[in-house]
Amino acid sequence: MNTYDLSLIQQSKYIDMLFTYKSDNDYNIGDIVIVPFGIGNKVIEGIIIYKNKSEVTNKTKEIISALEHTYSLTQKQIDTAIFIRDNYMCSYYEAFKLFTSPSKYTKLSEHYTINITLNDKEKLQELIKNTRKNAKNKLSFLNAIAHYENITKPVLEEMLDIKTNSYINELEQLNIITTSKLTVFSKNRFTKNKKPDIKLNAEQATIFNSIKNIYDTEPNKSVLLHGITGSGKTQVYIEIIKYLLSKQKTAIILVPEISLTMQTIARFSNEFDEDIAIIHSNLTKREKFEQWLKIKNKISKIVIGARSALFSPLEDIGVIIIDECHDEAYKSEQSPKYDTIEVANKIAKQNDALLILATATPSITQYYEASELKKYHLFKLLNRANNKPLPQVVIVNMLEEMKNGNNLDLSKTLQLEMKRELAKGNSIILFLNKRGYSNQLTCDNCGYVPKCENCDISLTYHKTTHSYKCHYCGYEVSAFSSCPKCNEGHFMMLGTGTQKIENQVKHLFPSANIFRMDKDTSKEKGMSEKILTDFRNTSHSVLIGTQMIGKGHDFPKVSLVGVINADQGINSPDYKALERSYNIIEQVGGRAGRGSDDGTVIIQTFSHSNSLLFFLKNHNYDAFYQDELEKRQIFRYEPFGNLIRITVSSIDEKTAFSSAIKVKEALTFYNNTKLSAKLKIYDVSPCLITRIEQKYRYQIVLRSDNETLSTAKKMINYTLTAKRKIVLSSDNVSVSIDVNPDNML
């Protein structure tokens, strides 16, 4: 009798533990089994995590059966799921759900192949004689298939107008034909346009050979490829993948946006004959399952997709490539709130595979880990592949524009450049550096932005209390009647939207082809791809959008990029605001000047003295990095310290608030008694967005240094699992935990 410890595939905060079952059958770790559970012996599924680790008792129930081996998890997948559970403080269910099949019950198209095995006249005559009804049709059927070695069932049905399986079934019973079921996968809809072989330039070739050598000889196979926009990073890792495929290895390529998945697939389809699997959230359940099966059955050796593609059942992994690795889309916003790069590191080490992070704008932490901690081998591509210069950057002071009577969101400088480029037939991108919160406080005279004295982030105005508040530590100050810096100006709320910009552009340039890409225009499946394709193929065009248009797209006709209001991102209430703004503005600016004409970037700002603008003007990432790193060190932000955000939510506001207070009190008790008060625990405060989907949200923010982070996670896990019923008395309360959150909304 064997014992098996299972994680139940059931979402419930009360069964987040392993359960022991028994069986005389010899199941494997990773198998998905059917078991009875609870007082009523409800039949549910579970994943075998351990074998013969626990003892059999008189209460140990027996496994009913197992699903077919296709759906089993590997030991590596189990180890990674447990790593995710421990590191991101989620449930077993949430961690293992990342790896299980998208749908075990989705039926794919089943095609029947009919093979003529016997031409026995007596049996044919007997068949026709015994079934006088429709004998003529059957004779036609037999005469028709006699000309084929094999034919698929759908073709037969169409050819003979057959509506039932009776003909085929009778022939099969008489052994005149045999049938076999085949799973036929749909083909990717990308046509192959074979391009001439692209040879790496000297800079690319040097890096390719170095990375190849790292794979062959180095125990540390992690690489940060820092290349300016348009430097040809993609071509380098295409060559890396070709090299690893020749060694019978496989590859995963992650991109941050679904629209980039389509662009990347099109590029790779031209380079590789191998079948490429596609994984992203816009696929239907059937499509996801089909792609999953292609990977599981080793039909696809290359997987391209958003972050969920990392959990594909791919074996013999040779390389994991994370394109635009700085992008916040690689941090999950749903539990488990995992960091894709941390998990990719784990999977790469399991497989002794390369991990390549590629970007023009690494995050501060990524660059620090590469340049200072040597966690990654650092390589730089300093020149554009076509030897074109980076775009010229022009800074426009919008305070002066206002004083000169221009109340539009488009400066006179930007209007003039747009007129010039549209006359040439070129394309233009207008980018709004906007996130989930749209309005920021700025002095209308000097551009001063009020900040928290404890956290170095901008304060948020609260109308009900007429005060400015920090959403990290709770610091609050009464609203100013005038600017405390210049004593002359007053604070204005900055903010504009894509539709407003679109209307202004239509008025100023009525003959231009205008495309707007935001959540409203791209919510339907395939619309993002269509907008980008139409813009790419249209002259005299203007694309207006937010974050999604600034991520790695290749638009050869774009010669001008206008950043409408840089301050909306720069002054957002987040310690990563400057990093994000540098990254996205440098990235979107990098779309300009990739074709025959040189590029120009115009950045409009009310904070023209901000040092960030100087770094952007000179494309000086290294100087920006050093400046930002010094600030991070002073305030003990990542990579020198950690923030942990616990969000407590409920449909009842009092329940949400009181539950958050109890969580904070419990954490404070354990911090003082077990950790010698090494953690800084801030007071409960409402989230920046206080209500989502009818649930009120309160947060507790904790600070830890790098040495105590692991202990802090254990303390939080213990408080919210083992002590959950004590700390959270109501069932109508949800808790989420985010380590080093990418936003504090």
C-alpha 221/C-alpha 321 separation (Å) is 12
State the Cα–Cα distance between residues 233 and 360, nearest whole angstrom.
9
The order of strands in the sheet holding 2-8 is 61-62, 18-23, 2-8, 42-51, 32-37, 65-66
CB atoms within 10 A of CB 516: 19
The tokens describing 533, both together, are: 């394709």
Closest by CA to 283, choosing from 293, 269, 272, 297, is 293
Assign residue 487 a region (left: φ > 0; alpha: ψ between -120 and 50; beta: otherwise). Answer: left
606 φ/ψ angles, rounded to the nearest 5 degrees: -100, -5
Annotated binding site: 443, 446, 452, 455, 470, 473, 483, 486
3-state helix, strand, coil in the chain (%, to 5): 35, 25, 40
The CA distance from 406 to 585, in Å, is 24
> Where are the extended beta strands (E) located within 56-205?
61-62, 65-66, 110-116, 150-152, 177-183
Cα gap 169→181, rounded to integer Å: 14
Cα–chain center distance at 208: 26
CA angle (63, 67, 69) in 5-degree steps: 120
How far apart are alpha carbons 359 and 322 in whole angstroms? 9
Strand 317-323 to 354-359 pairing:
parallel
Q: How far is CA 291 from the centre of its chain?
A: 18
Question: Which residue numbers belong to the known binding site for Zn(2+)?
Answer: 443, 446, 452, 455, 470, 473, 483, 486
Q: What are phi and psi of 240, to 5 degrees?
A: -60, -45
Cα–Cα dist 426/270, whole Å? 27
| Tokens (6 digits) for 294 | 């292609």
Q: Is the dihedral of CA 702, 708, 714, 719 positive or negative?
A: negative
Phi, psi of 308 (to 5 degrees): -65, -20
Q: Tokens in use for 201?
A: 């330039």
Rounded-to-integer distance, Cα 684 and Cα 474, Å: 8
CA angle 597, 602, 603 (to 5 degrees): 150
Per the DSSP assignment, residues forming a β-bridge with 492 are 442
Query: Which residues in 345-386 belong to E strands, given as ranges?
Result: 354-359, 377-381
**E strand or H helix that includes residue 564:** none
Structure tokens at 743: 């936003």
Q: Which of 511, 509, 553 is nearest to 528 (CA)?
A: 553
Rounded to an integer, what distance in angstroms lies between the CA atom of residue 720 and that of residue 332? 20
Give the three-class secondary structure for 688.
strand
* Whether 247 contacts 318, CB under 8 Å: yes
How many other β-carbons are positioned within 10 Å of the β-carbon of residue 178? 15
Q: For helices 233-245 and 202-217, what crossing angle results, to 10°?
A: 40
CA 533, CA 384: separation in Å to the nearest integer?
Answer: 23
540-573 burial string, b = 16+ CB within 10 Å, else e?
A: bbbbbbbbbbbbbbebebbbbbbbbbbbbbbbbb
The DSSP output letter for 566 is T
The residues, any chain, with a CB within 8 Å of residue 266's CB and separated by 6 or more, are 190
Overall size of the chain counted in residues? 745
